[in-house]
Amino acid sequence: MTLASPLTAGRIAVTGSSGKLGGYTVADLAEAGYDVVALDVAPAPPAVREASVAALAVDLTDLGQVVDALEGCDGVVHLANIPAPGLRPEGVTFTTNVAMNQAVFSAARTLGLRRVVWASSETTLGLPLDTPPWYAPIDEAHFPRPESTYALSKVVTEQMAATYARWTGVSHVGLRFSNVMTIQDYRDLFPPAWDDPAARRWNLWSYIDARDAATACRAGLVASEESLGGAGSAPNVIIAAADTCMRRDSAELLAEEFPGVELRREVRGTQSLFDISAAERVLGWRPEHSWRDEGDALI
Ligand SMILES: NC(=O)c1ccc[n+]([C@@H]2O[C@H](COP(=O)([O-])OP(=O)(O)OC[C@H]3O[C@@H](n4cnc5c(N)ncnc54)[C@H](O)[C@@H]3O)[C@@H](O)[C@H]2O)c1
């Protein structure tokens, strides 16, 4: 099988474009010169309107609408989903997400899109950690450990992605995003956790800056087939910041909150307790932002 060329240009659909991560992703891809089509059931927010891209109202659970909407695209960055447990009844979260993800993968297959990048989640790895992790730093092999129907929908979708990738020879890149944060989130959410480590121990004090999550989507489009593992690959990689949201040493926090959990390699200072080396190896992506760079107001 010949290897498809990476998508360094062309027409890219971004689903979930009216959402938290969608706006950053549309802006990043438009800035990088892609011809972006924004797809969401909700109206386009200012970030999408300012990027001056085409925007279409679509219900992505409806395969017919998805096929219509993706026609003429070279690739898709699929972010639309119910984005967390507890927002909708459990069964609705599962069936809606799986229906949406299947429709997008199926439409991409029908239309011959050349790359699918989609939002998986750190929750596939055992979050929230009401029971301790098997080990730390958590890496891609700390899987599958869904603890909610939301996480289960992502685990099932990772299997679907692998299947569609095998059927089509088109790589499907799954991004296991950590908790996505804006600068305002840093102000609202991190300081209260500094004196209360239990507040954010559920994900080992991890996060991802929304701007870095957007560049990870672009890295998924431009990564070569070779680095993804060959034509029809379906790698799923952790996308997290290089540090924690805390001011105390990570190893010390782990020992205190999860006594007895093995620390498999040295973690220095406030370094993340998630291993992000696979994303660098497979996608050539590294986070560039930390809450620590956002000014004295936070510290
Ligand atoms: N926010 C996080 O911390 C986080 C962490 C890990 C993974 N993720 C994943 O990243 C993705 C984006 O998350 P987000 O925080 O931007 O979520 P969000 O809720 O802000 O955005 C999701 C968007 O999808 C749209 N959508 C939902 N159902 C739809 C449908 N049937 N048809 C068309 N559009 C529909 C919504 O209108 C919304 O604009 C999701 O897949 C989520 O599961 C998010």
Going from the Cα of 24 to the center of ligand 1, the distance in angstroms, rounded, reads: 12
Which atom of ligand 1 lies closest to the CA of 61?
31
Q: Is residue 5 part of a domain?
A: no
Q: Which domain holds residue 256?
A: 11-298
The pLDDT tens digits along the chain (299 residues) read 556 678 999 999 999 999 999 999 999 999 999 999 999 999 999 988 998 889 999 999 999 999 999 999 999 999 999 999 999 999 999 999 999 999 999 999 999 999 999 999 999 999 999 999 999 999 999 999 999 999 999 999 999 999 999 999 999 999 999 999 999 999 999 999 999 999 999 999 999 999 999 999 999 999 999 999 999 999 999 999 999 999 999 999 999 999 999 999 999 999 999 999 999 999 999 999 999 999 765 76
DSSP state of 219: H
Q: Is residue 4 part of a domain?
A: no
Q: Is residue 236 part of a domain?
A: yes
- Tokens representing 203 are 């994900």
44 to 15, 30, 37, 78, 136: CA distances (angstroms): 11, 15, 11, 16, 40
Structural domain tally of the chain?
Answer: 1
Of 122, 177, 188, best ligand 1 pocket probe by most atoms within 8 Å of the beta carbon: 177
Q: Is residue 3 part of a domain?
A: no
User: Residue 97: CB partners within 8 Å, gap ≥ 6?
Assistant: 81, 82, 150, 153, 154, 157
CATH number at residue 76: 3.40.50.720
Which atom of ligand 1 lies closest to the CA of 150?
43
Q: Is residue 202 part of a domain?
A: yes
Q: Is residue 131 part of a domain?
A: yes
- Straight-line distance from the first to the last Cα atom of the chain, in angstroms, rounded to the nearest whole number: 53
